[in-house]
Amino acid sequence: MKDKIQSHFFWKHANGAFSLFDKPVEIIYSKIVSNIKYSYIFFLFLIFTQLSNKNYVLHESMLDPLWPMLLFKNISPVSIALFCQISLIVGFILLTRYYNNRFLKGFVFIIYFLYLAFLNSFGKINHGHHLALMILFCFMLMPGNKVANYKEKTILLFASAQFFLLFSYSLTGFWKLFWGIVEFFTKDVSLFSPLSFRNILIEQFQLTNPPLLGVWFLEHYYIGYIFYCAVVVIELFAVFAFFKSNLHKIWGVLLIGMHLGIHLVLNVNMYPAIMAIGLLLLMSPFQKSSTKRLY
Amino acid sequence: MKLHKNFVVFWTIIYLVIAIVGRFTTSNKEIFPFFRWSLYSKTPNNLAFPFIMVTKVNDSILENPTNILELNSVHHLSLVDMNLNVKDFYKDVLNCKANNEAYKGDFFKILPDNSDFELFKKTLDMTKVDYKSTEEVLKILSVKNNTTINFER
């Protein structure tokens, strides 16, 4: 595997110290297959969390249909929701058995895409499920067992999914820093002031009741600002962690810790993002095991 | 193999291009599902928070004016969705006011016919340490029977 990507302008950067491809192809591939099988159970869980969400289905029509929903805007939301949920539940259950069936993978990706478009056609686009959709997209492109070099291709696509995940966090950090610099010169309060953390809390708490930790940080915003700066650093450098296999689990823990903090302080949940981090980083197939097996 | 090797770079470029084009060309500022991941990127300096107090739903007069966010059993929208609809309504109302036009948007579909409500705006100067003392609440307009808008002059 190392030889095949050594000269590639992108992948050669993942081939230095703590290379992603140190382990034999067979071992990486078998771990990826195991991750994929687990993932469909997690996806099934995600769909089950949506079953009790009756808000959307009680409407006569979608308020602001997104472009994939324009064809279906005259169909009642309850019919769309039921069709998508039943299709996804059946699809994910079948995929746990036939995990490499390309038709099933394509079908599930398209229905999940339409389902997200539907859920986001009521005014606000929620980005919680975008990373989960990205994972399904990469899984869909993974080749079947009869294609030449299918193991190497599967490994590259799994690594690409890891890159997209970490890149999206780096973008979040980049925009915070970018607007922080712009606002440093144009506004009174920017990222470089402890009031920035406090102001984000104030704005957020106009809408939701502050959790206990949120109220505490509102009073002690200087302490919260230290955590806020740490979050910006974790986000900004996330993409660099991709190129070193020994950083995958560390960054996975940091990002999940960040989401836990956001949940406790701001009361904002992103369960699908945590699922994506768990599958791609915490269970990274590229990281060498720290304990040696005695067999 | 070549396609799979280059996929990560090509798709990143395609994704970024569509995300940036969506930022500048669409009302949602994104083309689903391409997003530029700019969550919490700007620091709020001044808060202008529009909110709606409902006084009548259909033919039922409410005992006390109630924030529309709390009337989930009537509009069946999540808190975040409803808040975004209120923000969009506020922006549209300001545009209508500037152009001297009557509001004809979709917001009236959210509550049943013959509902009455009032739109307010809460402002805070968050550049001050003591931001609470800067709070102001301004009434923007009233809506009667979901059709008539009386701008407050």
Sequence-distant (≥ 6) Cβ neighbours of residue A61 within 8 angstroms: A73, A74, A76, A77
pLDDT 10s digits, A78-133: 899 999 999 999 999 999 999 989 999 999 999 999 999 999 998 778 898 999 99
Interface check A25 vs B, CB under 8 A: no
Of chain A residues 138-167, which have a CB less than 8 A from chain B? Answer: 141, 149, 152-153, 156-157, 159-160, 163-164, 167
Residue with token string 């550049």: B127
pTM of the model: 0.89
- Answer yes or no: are the C-beta atoms of A280 and A238 closer than 8 Å: no
Do A207 and B38 count as a contact with CB atoms less than 8 A apart?
no
Complex ipTM: 0.90
Q: What is the pLDDT of residues A20-55, one digit of tens each?
A: 888 999 999 999 999 999 999 999 999 998 887 766
User: Which residue of A171, A193, A203 is in closest CB contact with B37?
Assistant: A171
Q: How far apart are CA A127 and CA A124, in angstroms?
A: 9
- Quote the CA–CA distance of A232 and A173 in Å, as a whole number: 5
Chain B residues in contact with A113 by the CB 8 A cut-off are 33
Task: Identify from B16, B42, B122, B137 which residue to disrupt to test chain A contact, counting A C-beta atoms within 10 A and taking the largest count.
Answer: B42
- Is B47 part of the contact surface with chain A (CB cutoff 8 Å)? yes
A69 Cβ neighbours under 8 A, 6+ residues apart: A62, A80, A114, A117, A118, A121
Instruction: Verify whether the Cβ–Cβ distance B40 to A152 is below 8 Å.
Output: no
In our burial notation (b when 16+ CB lie closer than 10 A, e otherwise), range A237-257 reads: bbbebbbbbebbbebbebbbe
Kindly state the average pLDDT of the residues B121-140: 92
Note whether B43 contacts A191, CB cutoff 8 Å.
yes
Cβ neighbours of B38 in A, within 8 Å: 171-172, 175
Q: What is the pLDDT of residues A219-273, one digit of tens each?
A: 999 999 999 999 999 999 999 999 999 999 999 999 999 999 999 999 888 889 9
Query: How many CB pairs lie under 8 A apart between chains A and B?
Result: 151
Task: State pLDDT tens for residues A207-234.
Answer: 888 899 999 999 999 999 999 999 999 9
CA distance A295 to chain B (A): 35
- Judged by CB atoms closer than 8 Å, whether chains meet at A172 and B88 is answered as no
Q: Does B9 touch chain A (CB under 8 A)?
A: yes
pLDDT of residue A56: 65
Cα–Cα dist B107/A64, whole Å:
11
DSSP B106: S
Residue A68, chain B, CB below 8 Å: the answer is yes
Q: What is the pLDDT of residue B153?
A: 47
**For residue range A146-169, what is the model confidence (pLDDT) as tens digits?**
898 999 999 999 999 999 999 999
pLDDT digits (tens, 9 = 90+) for A166-182: 999 999 999 999 999 99
Band (B18; pLDDT cuts 50, 70, 90): very high
Q: Which residue would you say has higher pLDDT here, B101 or A224?
A: A224
Name every residue whose Cβ is closer than 8 Å to that of residue A72 and which is 6 or more positions away in sequence: A65, A80, A114, A118
Q: Of chain B residues 57-116, which have a CB less than 8 A from chain A?
A: 69, 72, 76-85, 88, 106, 109-110
Q: Does A169 touch chain B (CB under 8 A)?
A: yes
Q: Alpha helix (H) ranges present in chain A? A: 2-5, 25-51, 77-97, 102-119, 130-141, 150-186, 195-204, 212-219, 221-236, 238-241, 248-266, 271-277
The three-class DSSP label of residue A157 is helix
Model pLDDT, residue B146: 64
Query: Closest chain B residue to A168 measured between Cα atoms?
Result: B37
